[in-house]
Amino acid sequence: MMRYARTLLPVSLALAIAATSTCTYKPRTEPPNTGPGSVKLARQYLEGRWTLVSFVVYPPNAAPVEIKGSGTLVYDDYANLTMDVSVDEASAALMQKAGIQVDKGRVSTKGRTIVDMQGRSLTYVMEGQPAVGGPAGPLAMSRPRYWQVEGNVLTLTTRDDKGQPLSVGKWQKQ
């Protein structure tokens, strides 16, 4: 038995060396997670300052409401997203009716985000708050923002539990 093991070990080792010597090393042309469709590329696209182009709210059992106002969205290189929208009085009243909290004509959100490439969404992670649950409504922080890119226009959509739009904001990169 011992003699068989002494013969088997060198033969196995020789076969392993021969098998690996036929393999060729092919260096990667790009580091992992940096090519097309990567989270890193998506974050690079999002980085910067965006200006609000349009904002529509879809209240339950009512016609869509186009909000009149202005806004900025800032996404930094640490995945922090700050959104600040100022609206007129009529728009503020319509937003309140749709369940969106408006404070003195402003809607502001700030938090760290997680980019989901497969789901094409951004999800806020608020410090000291759970990632799920919390306040409801069309702009609830617990709702993912589904994104779509067309040139230098970013569309962020929040959806209800059935997948229907609750709000759609279009932003243009500055």
Which pLDDT tens digit goes with each residue over 93-136?
988 888 888 999 998 888 888 888 888 888 887 665 555 555 56
Which amino acid is located at 52 in the chain? L
Indicate if the pLDDT at residue 43 is higher than 60. Answer: yes
Indicate if the pLDDT at residue 26 is higher than 50. Answer: no
How large is the average pLDDT for residues 28-36?
51
How large is the average pLDDT for residues 55-68?
89
Domains of the chain by range and CATH? 39-173 (2.40.128.50)
pTM above 0.85, yes or no: no
Of 25-39, 61-75, 129-143, the range with the highest mean pLDDT is: 61-75
pLDDT band at 62 (very low <50, low <70, confident <90, very high): confident
pLDDT band at 170 (very low <50, low <70, confident <90, very high): very high
* List of E strands, the chain: 48-57, 65-66, 69-75, 80-87, 106-116, 121-125, 145-150, 153-159, 165-173
Question: Cβ of 85: how many Cβ atoms within 10 Å?
Answer: 23
